Structure 1
Amino acid sequence: MKKPLLYAGVFCFMVSGLLSSTLALAQSDPSGKKPITDTYAITNATVFTSPGQAGVKTTVLIKNGLIQGVGNNLALPKEAKTIAGDSLFIYPGFIAGASDVGITRPKDPERPDDFVSSNPSDEIAGITPWRSAVDQFSIKDSKVDDLRKVGFTIVQISPEGGMIAGKTAIVLLGSENSTNILKENTALAANFRGSRGMYPGTAVGVMAKFREVYDNTMLTSERSQKYSTVAGLKRPEITPTYSAMQEVTTGQIPVMFTTSSDLEIRRAISLQKEKGFKLVLTGLEEYEGVLDVIKASGAAVLVKLEIPDDKAIKAQKDDATAEVKELNARVKKAYDDAIAQAGKLEEAGIPFAFSIVGVKSGDIMKALQKMIASGLSEKAALAALTTNPASILGLTKVAGSIEKGKMANLILSTDSLFTEDAQIKHIVVDGIIYDYETKAKKKAAKDGNGAMKIEGTWEYTSESPAGSSGGILVIKKDGSDYSGTITYDDPSGAGKATSDIKNVNLNGSSLSFSFDVTASGMDITVDVSGEVSEGSYDATMTVGEFGSFPFKGTLTPTLIANK
């Protein structure tokens, strides 16, 4: 008889988590207990009130989820709990202009027996503007805490769906006991993905269909107005699509078009010019060639907070042929140009914020540091995470900077935020403090060539709400490349299973890799990322959509990896 799923440790937990609410245990404050006080005074911390402002040693007073004051002569209430901030740096909490955190995709509707691929119903074709991201959102998703750990306190959530997926909403990444909703129906989420096996199946078809839906909404609205005042007219047909689109046609909310390439950017701007709706360009990845077009459009801009994989660059060899070296040089230039784009947005005077849709939380700070090293100023980077998204989302009066009367959304770090050694110690969301473990970084062991030593056999453990599990990680080095295997508790309960590790990336002391697991018929990719020091590996293991868990390894001298 097979053992129960939970017995197999973290991998069983990730499967059972799909079927239950146990993922709530991964939260920073799983108890949901009410704090003893809602009044805090963070004293003598270095406070950066907004982008471009120098840090000042001062006190921040918080009460009832609001900032009551920032200064050195504040009258502190007797009920205030004091937090010594002498070694802490305080920044405004990050705001994501677009995010898919906590979002689940709705079930696709069944096609009727009389389905016609050239003229499908709106819902089947992916035209669902009446849907709300709120209905797809769960604060209990473990990814919520993953984002909090890297500084995010407010996000605009986008619904999953087709070419017109539905309405976005703005939520706090706060307590499970709160609704956390700041604003509903803040934008219409749209993209150029065609529908499979039906119209519209191409990007050009999507443009034509968008025009049709937009024009019919305008026409229906005009007819409805006339019908209510003029006798003898035929009753106009009111549909959920046309009713939901009226907020766009009347200019109440913008269309948030996902446009990853310069061609899609041009297409979205072309539609905006033709129809006159408000436009937000989101998910930008390739945009350097259309900076002038973006600036002239006046559209709000959300850049994807992600950088390209540099594995191919790291694998380049010095003894390659001239032809290969020329190809490598082109690959390296494309990589450098992609990272430098954000800095060129700043140079062009185009304010922007970030989209984190599809972005791994563990890669966010690395991406920011790379962008800054490639020309983006720290001031512009912080603005893209705070004041700019606050402006784009209409939150300037309540969020984006540290000021009296604004929401108590703060980041408390151990160093200047974008430095390599900075670690986030506390996050304040809506006045609630979330604590995170910080560790002094140790000097890492090096091999004979001065590179970080990671090859060998590692014993590891991982922790989850289901308990502790572990196994053996073997890393081999072949030239500048790494490969290896990892053992883990088989989710079926049949002892240990083994998988090859892939995408092994060593950058300074940062080591990341991934491996695949099959559990209950599901293929799941597990990503591991962390820091190596003195034969130890302190990392985070992200298990597909099931969240992130601690992963700790020790390089074992007595267990020698096969060379």
Structure 2
Amino acid sequence: MMYAIVDAEIRTVTKGVIPLGTIVFNEKGIISVGKDCRVPVSARVIEGKGKVVTPGLIEAHSHAGLSEDGFPADVDYNEMTNPVTPHMRAIDAFKPSDLAMAEAVRDGVTTMYMTPGSANVFGGIGAIVKTYATTYRDYIVCEEAGMKIATGENPKRVYGGKDKEPATRMGIAGILRTTFTGAANYLEKKAHAKKKKEPFAIDLKMEAVAKVLRREIPARCHAHRAVDMLTFMRIAEEFGIEYVFEHATEAEEILPELKEKNVPLIVGPTLWGRTKLELHHKSFTTVKSAVEAGLLVAITSDHGVLPMRFLAVYAALAVRAGLSEEEALKCVTINPARILGLERTLGSLEKGKEADVILWNGDPLDARSKPEAVFVRGVRVEGEAKRVMP
């Protein structure tokens, strides 16, 4: 099916705002977007006067699909049996039946990064999925998109409470260095065995960590406090790895250091309460300060902490804290797309990109607004949100 939304305000994100614009698209992607686009006779026309069109929103850090809303006894994002579980894969526990995904897509969130939790120092490999599809296979965008690493209070609490390492920040740093060094040694031994044509036993944990060392996937480092970010930055420098900070609550304290390394930040969940020490300095001004410092910033709900469906509301609260509306929209569209390596296909309304298109009944950064029509890969999302398997 081909669609044409006409006479709408089109916020392309990367190429400005088009008043009274037209966007034409189908399941193959965006065909045209502009002021005077030709509307094919075969297109289903949707009147957009007085309404706003944006790209689908992108949640850069979510546990939806691993922890189903309403099923607290069936949570699968934290394997709290060992602080080093890099071989765990989020995709192996993915449940697209999660009601949270069905609700989120109807509120404009069309893509998400699904990550293991922060109980372990090495938590496993995250995946990128759509929030709507008609088959299980079509949900999956990328099965291996980042390695979950956690610093700070969570690993200390989980394992220190069991009289196991790590019980301190020194213990976390020690595990990071030991594991990265072990993976580097493993790769050397593997290369030597291959050269000598000798048998070699595959270690799935080391193979997973090796993906980070080879920069095939970034480290996705859970860090709230400045001390934890600085420690991980030193370790990342030692091993030459690519990384992103998740949460980054105290980023304002170390903006020069973050800017020197151009570290991407995924900030949030800021609307949440101060439930632990490392959240003491949380503020929506963190997003504004980091953007003004020239960093690549995304806003996150950290779903199951906050509902992913209200991602646009969290962006609006960043505007309330001083961020421009243009930058706020980028923080939930093109910026997370860039962090996830999806900027060629998602995050903005441009010819040739995937047709994740949202038609809003008002300003998307007004909490009163909601989508009137949602399209994922050019397919219109119909009906009420409910828990179903594809």
Cα distance in 2 for residues equivalent to 1:376 and 1:108: 34
Quote the residue 2:287 is aligned against: 342
Q: Distance in 1 between matches of 2:337 and 2:363?
A: 22
Q: Name the aligned partner's letter for residue 85 of structure 1.
A: G
Q: Decide which moves more: 57-66 or 419-428.
A: 419-428
Contact 2:148 2:220 in 1 (8 A): yes
Cα shift at 1:52: 7.0
Q: Is the 8 A contact 1:426 1:436 kept in 2?
A: no
> 2:240 corresponds to which residue?
276
CA distance in 1, matches of 2:124, 2:192: 28
Offset of 1:65 from its aligned partner? Answer: 4.3
Structure 2 residue corresponding to 1:239, chosen from 178, 203, 213? 203
Following superposition, the deviation at residue 177 of structure 1 comes to 2.4
Query: SS state of the match for residue 216, structure 2?
Result: coil
Q: Secondary structure at the match of 2:284?
A: helix
Q: By how many angstroms is 1:363 displaced?
A: 5.2
AA aligned to 1:177 is: T
* In structure 2, distance between residues paired with 1:215 and 1:204: 16
Equivalent position to 1:381, from 328, 336, 352: 328
In 2, Cα distance between equivalents of 1:391 and 1:339: 21
SS at match of 1:96: strand
Counterpart contact for 2:23–2:33, Cα < 8 Å: yes
Q: Secondary structure at the match of 2:347?
A: coil
User: In structure 2, which of residues 23, 27, 30 is the aligned counterpart of residue 67 of structure 1?
Assistant: 30
**Which range is displaced more, 211-220 or 355-364?**
355-364
Contact 1:125-1:199 at 8 Å conserved across structures = no
Give, in whole Å, the separation in 1 of the partners of 2:172 and 2:247.
18
Partners of 1:132 and 1:169 in 2: CA distance: 8
Contact 1:51/1:380 (CA < 8 Å) preserved in 2?
no
Q: Once the two structures are superposed, what CA deviation does each residue of 1:296-340 show, in whole Å capped at 9, x if it has no partner? A: 222221111423559xxxxxxxxxxxxxxxxxxxxxxx88x8222
Distance 1:370 1:106, change over 3 A: closer
Q: 1:107 to 1:422 in 2, by over 3 A?
A: closer
Provide the secondary structure at the position in 2 that maps to 1:229.
Answer: helix
For 1:222, the aligned partner's letter is E
Q: Give, in whole Å, the separation in 1 of the partners of 2:15 and 2:269.
A: 21
- Count of aligned residue pairs for this structure pair: 365
Write the distance in 2 (CA, Å) between the matches of 1:78 and 1:130: 51
Correspondence for 1:315: none
Selected match of 2:132 from 174, 177, 180:
174
Identity %: 22
**Greater length-normalized contact order (CA 8 Å, ≥ 6 residues apart):** 2
Match of 1:542 in 2: none
Q: Distance in 2 between matches of 1:423 and 1:219?
A: 53
8 Å Cα contact 2:315-2:331 kept in structure 1: no
3-state SS, counterpart of residue 323 of structure 2: coil
2:277 match: none
Distance 2:76 2:11 in 1: 41
TM value normalised by structure 1:
0.60
Q: Provide the C-alpha distance between the structure 2 equivalents of 1:429 and 1:191, rounded to a whole number of angstroms.
A: 32
Amino acid at match of 1:344: S
**SS of 1:385's equivalent?**
coil
Which of 51, 54, 59 does residue 88 from structure 1 map onto? Answer: 51
Task: Please tell me whether residue 45 in structure 1 is matched to residue 8 in structure 2.
Answer: yes
1:124 aligns with 2:71: no
User: Post-superposition shift, 1:149?
Assistant: 3.2
Give 1:429's aligned residue.
376
Instruction: Check conservation: 1:94, 1:385, Cα contact below 8 A.
Output: yes
Cα separation, 2, equivalents of 1:86 and 1:405 = 24
Query: Hey, what does 1:218 align to over in structure 2?
Result: 184
Q: What secondary structure, in the 3-state scheme, does the structure 2 residue paired with 1:349 have? A: coil
What is the rounded CA distance, in whole Å, between the counterparts of 2:180 and 2:272 in structure 1? 36
Q: Give the counterpart of 1:306 among 251, 266, 270.
A: 270
Partner in structure 1 of residue 175 of structure 2: 209
Secondary structure, counterpart of 1:228 in structure 2: helix
In 2, are the aligned partners of 1:149 and 1:436 still within 8 Å (CA)? no
Match of 1:156 among 113, 128, 133: 113
Counterparts in 2 of 1:205 and 1:281: CA distance versus 1, 3 Å: same
SS of residue paired to 2:267: strand
**Larger gyration radius, structure 1 or structure 2:** 1
2:149 counterpart residue number? 190
Give the 4+ runs in structure 1 shifted more than 6 A: none
Matched-pair contact (CA < 8 Å) for 1:89–1:413 = yes
Q: Deviations over 1:465-504 (max 9, x none)?
A: 7xxxxxxxxxxxxxxxxxxxxxxxxxxxxxxxxxxxxxxx
Distance 2:310 2:128 in 1: 23
Structure richer in helix, relative to its length? 2
- Displacement of 1:246 in angstroms is 1.2
Distance apart, 1:428 and its partner CA: 1.4
| RMSD between superposed Cα atoms in Å | 2.7
> Residue 338 of structure 1 aligns to a residue in which SS?
coil
| Structure 1, gaps ≥5 residues long | 1-37, 110-122, 311-333, 438-463, 466-545, 548-563
Q: Which amino acid aligns with 2:252?
A: E
- Cα displacement (A) at 1:423: 2.6
Measure how far apart 1:68 and its partner are. 1.2
1:371 to 1:107, Cα distance in 2 relative to 1, 3 A? closer
Cross-structure match for 2:18: 55
